Structure 1
Amino acid sequence: MMKLLKYPFIILWRIWFYVLMFCTIIVLSPVFLVLTSSDRYYHQLFWVVRNIWANAILYGMGFIPDIKRDQQMEKGKSYVLIANHTSMTDIMLMLRASPNAFVFVGKQELAKIPIFGFFYKRACILVDRNNVKSRTAVYERAKKRLDNGLSICIFPEGGVPDEKIRLDEFKDGAFRLAIAYQIPIVPMTFADNKKRFSYTFLSGSPGVMRARVHPFIETRGLTTDDRAALKAQSRAVIYRQLRDYGKDGKPTENRKTW
């Protein structure tokens, strides 16, 4: 009975997420139009998206970011940012977790979302994972961004895995890129996003969203032959933290689904 009583509130809260996301984009759209008109404005765009849009979504939904950093990013230095991918809120939490401006490498399908997709394709690097030519083109577009002092963010699971999977296998893209340009990997673990706002509609709740920024993994001197080892090392760091979060008395989700 209690579950039935809470469902109307969850439905309204879920709807509020989409209302909040699209209303903030509409309000900020004049600013976004100007700042996405040229790459030279990207740092200003990132500031607005990180400090206004992401905060409005997270705090407007009752999510409180709690970010622990084992290492600080150097201002003006480029990195490849990676994290486990469990929720639409991963985008907002990643924005809060990185003080350095970065560009998302994301799936092309998101460009079809009304309003959001218009600015998404102007600001991000889009990839069709089923198209070899599209995947290859990512490297050229990423190089341009890296040359401008930006970082790159890729969710290496290649999509949001089944909710029963703690951490899916990683795709190669992030690690090929990091090795090709000899820049550090920044692994991050998002502990609570799946519990707070999963893709199961009648689920979730406001609360703390923990993120851990792990020590960076250097790629200087590595070659393509080291790609598999680098991928395995990066995944192990995130996996261990997810496992430890589940043991601390504050499980990130129903333990039976892990």
Structure 2
Amino acid sequence: MLKIIRFTFYFLWLMAVTAIGLIFCLFRPFHPDNLRLIGRLFGKVIAPVMGVSFELRGKEILDNNRPMVMIAPHQNNLDLIIGGLGIPARTVSLGKIQLLQIPVFGWFYWLSGNILINRTNKRKAKYSMEKVTENIQGKNISIWIMPEGTRSR
């Protein structure tokens, strides 16, 4: 029963934070710290509810003020807790374009400054990856990639 209550609260809080994040991003669209601020809001409330704790090792690497590419596994929705609490400043993520089809969450994800990639069209995918390179090199932005997001293949 406790598990059902926890996961119900998880999804209700996720929807609330997504709506708050969408409104926040309307005032600061595409800012590279949007994801970090909203992710921390989500994680700080939901981690104790879900009984999740973690220790961040190598924080000095994340705080070096240098752009980087971070690769992390993405196995389930609980990954959002750890990601939200551990994401460094000026970081955006790379996600599939289909996320835009999810009402409210997709809009928030896009307005957060994340990079959407069309994996079905190689030309557009290549353009998106060029945009990633441009962001890393020219705007001092780090990229967070979760390649295990596709589990159906």
TM range (shorter): 0.7 to 0.9
Answer whether contact 2:6 2:49 (CA < 8 A) is retained: no
TM-superposed deviation, 1:17? 1.6
Which of 1 and 2 has higher RCO (CA within 8 Å, sep 6+)?
2
Please give the alpha-carbon distance, in whole angstroms, between the structure 2 residues aligned to 1:58 and 1:66.
13
Find out whether 1:129 has 2:119 as its counterpart.
yes
Could you tell me which amino acid in structure 1 is paired with residue 145 of structure 2?
Answer: I
TM-superposed deviation, 1:106? 0.8
Answer whether contact 2:18 2:105 (CA < 8 A) is retained: yes
Choose which of 24, 34, 40 in structure 1 pairs with 2:17. Answer: 24
Richer in helix (by share): 2
Find out whether 1:114 has 2:103 as its counterpart.
yes
Alignment partner, residue 58 of structure 2: 69
After superposition, the Cα gap between the structure-2 partners of 1:104 and 1:28, relative to the gap in structure 1 and judged at 3 Å, is: closer
TM-superposed deviation, 1:120? 0.9
Find out whether 1:89 has 2:78 as its counterpart.
yes
> Considering only aligned residues, what root-mean-square deviation do their CA atoms show, in Å?
2.5
After superposition, the Cα gap between the structure-2 partners of 1:104 and 1:154, relative to the gap in structure 1 and judged at 3 Å, is: same
Structure 1: which 5+ residue stretches go unaligned? 1-7, 163-258
SS of residue paired to 1:16: helix
> What pairs up with 1:35-46 in 2 under 5 angstroms?
35-36=28-29, 39=30, 41-43=31-33, 45-46=34-35
Please give the alpha-carbon distance, in whole angstroms, between the structure 2 residues aligned to 1:108 and 1:89.
21
TM-superposed deviation, 1:26? 2.4
Answer whether contact 2:90 2:142 (CA < 8 A) is retained: yes
After superposition, the Cα gap between the structure-2 partners of 1:55 and 1:161, relative to the gap in structure 1 and judged at 3 Å, is: farther
TM-superposed deviation, 1:112? 1.7
Q: TM-score, structure 2 length as denominator? A: 0.80
Find out whether 1:156 has 2:134 as its counterpart.
no
Alignment partner, residue 11 of structure 1: 4
Please give the alpha-carbon distance, in whole angstroms, between the structure 1 residues aligned to 2:65 and 2:58.
18
After superposition, the Cα gap between the structure-2 partners of 1:89 and 1:35, relative to the gap in structure 1 and judged at 3 Å, is: farther
Answer whether contact 2:68 2:142 (CA < 8 A) is retained: yes
After superposition, the Cα gap between the structure-2 partners of 1:60 and 1:130, relative to the gap in structure 1 and judged at 3 Å, is: same
Answer whether contact 1:50 1:96 (CA < 8 A) is retained: yes
Identity score, percent: 21
SS of residue paired to 1:66: coil
Structure 2: which 5+ residue stretches go unaligned? none
Answer whether contact 2:17 2:38 (CA < 8 A) is retained: no
Structure index of larger Rg: 1
Please give the alpha-carbon distance, in whole angstroms, between the structure 1 residues aligned to 2:49 and 2:124.
36
> What pairs up with 1:229-240 in 2 under 5 angstroms?
none
